[in-house]
Amino acid sequence: MIDEEALGWVIRTRDPEFTDWDGFTLWLEADPAHASAYDALMAADNELDSIVPVEPVAMPVAANDPGVRSRRPLRWIAGGAVAAALVATVSIAVFNRSDIYSVTTRPGEIRTIALDDGTTVEMNGGTTMRFDRKDARFAALDAGEAAFTVRHDVANPFRVTVGDAIFEDAGTVFNIVRTAAATRIGVSEGKVIYNPQAEAIALPAGRALSDDAQGLRVMDVAPAAVASWRQGQLVYANAPVTQVAEDAARSLGLTVHFTPQAQAMRFTGTIRLDRDPVRFFAEAAPLMGLSAVRQGDGWLLKEGNGSPN
């Protein structure tokens, strides 16, 4: 259903007379998967252009409708045989393309992708990304977390698509997190440009950017803290406890819940990523001023210190 909806928006937004940008924005923001499906279809621009007729297609006018002299021609037909043929053709062209492929890691799994241009992508657990066999300078982070060590090329910069945002490298080591509520990037070496064709915010080493419910914010970050999960630890400066739990869940394959009081707390410090959940929470929960209680396959963080059980 998402693919079909995305195709409908591709058809409508490519119409030069399209005006429902508010509706399109609401649809994108309703589910992170919407933007991913839309991006995948729009990446097939060449295929679409070869399918769409050059001349506008006129809607038929009923012969017995004297009150209507003519109807405005439309480039895209929303229904009927032409639309059905278009849907079928685009679906085949896009979703069966062998050059675009996805990689997904399970929670707790880490995977390294070596691209043909010399760039290395380290995917944390619970992460989904897309790559292009024909373009080693492209990657898309759909969900989760990944660290990038990029071979710089001024003439052909490496770009990472995250939802409707683009991060462009300038000789860089950086880490990006994408959740349902936020996108975060930290730079440890070189420089990244956020949305080079729009805001064009430069992020040198030691800078981070967050885009969440509070808006777009740029802040300082310790370079050693960027992608610290690769060294088996998590480093924070006044971070929400919910962020700490999300990061631990990705790296260790845990499910974490909170009481309202615990959810409102923040944390500064370093937490070791022990693979044993009991040992992890025995160390991590008191550091955050919390206690951890096992709940089935998951854990509950609540106010007050105490040993996990």
Which tens digit of pLDDT belongs to each residue from 92-146? 444 445 688 999 999 999 999 999 888 999 999 999 999 998 899 999 999 999 9
Average pLDDT over residues 153-161: 90
Strands 111-114, 120-123: pairing is antiparallel
Query: Phi and psi at residue 93, in whole multiples of 5°?
Result: -65, -35
Which residue would you say has higher pLDDT here, 37 or 282? 282
Q: State the fold for domain 232-303.
A: Phage tail protein beta-alpha-beta fold (3.55.50)
Q: Which candidate, 72, 73, 100, 76, places its Cα nearest to that of 86?
A: 76
Q: Which residues of the chain does CATH 3.55.50.30 include? A: 232-303
Element (DSSP H or E) covering residue 24: helix 21-30
Per-residue pLDDT at 67 exceeds 90 = no
State the angle between helix axes of 2-13 and 80-95 in degrees (0 to 180), rounded to the nearest 10.
Answer: 110
CATH architecture for the domain at 100-225: Sandwich (2.60)
Which residue would you say has higher pLDDT here, 46 or 117? 117
Question: What pLDDT, on a 0 to 100 scale, did the predictor assign at position 35?
Answer: 78
Which residues, in sequence order, are bridge partners of residue 296?
none
Amino acid at 269: G
Amino acid at 213: A
Per-residue pLDDT at 41 exceeds 90 = no
For the whole model, what pTM was predicted? 0.67
- Report the percent of the chain where pLDDT is more than 70: 78
Amino acid at 76: W
For 147-168, letters b (16+ CB in 10 Å) and e give: bbbbeeeeeebbbbbbbebbbb
10: tokens are 């591709």
Question: What pLDDT, on a 0 to 100 scale, did the predictor assign at position 16?
Answer: 63
Q: Using CA atoms, how far apart are residues 5 and 8, in angstroms rounded to an integer? A: 5
Q: How far is CA 292 from CA 32, 170, 255, 260, 282, in A?
A: 30, 42, 12, 14, 8
Q: Which residues of the chain does CATH 2.60.120.1440 include? A: 100-225
Question: What pLDDT, on a 0 to 100 scale, did the predictor assign at position 98?
Answer: 60
Question: What pLDDT, on a 0 to 100 scale, did the predictor assign at position 145?
Answer: 97
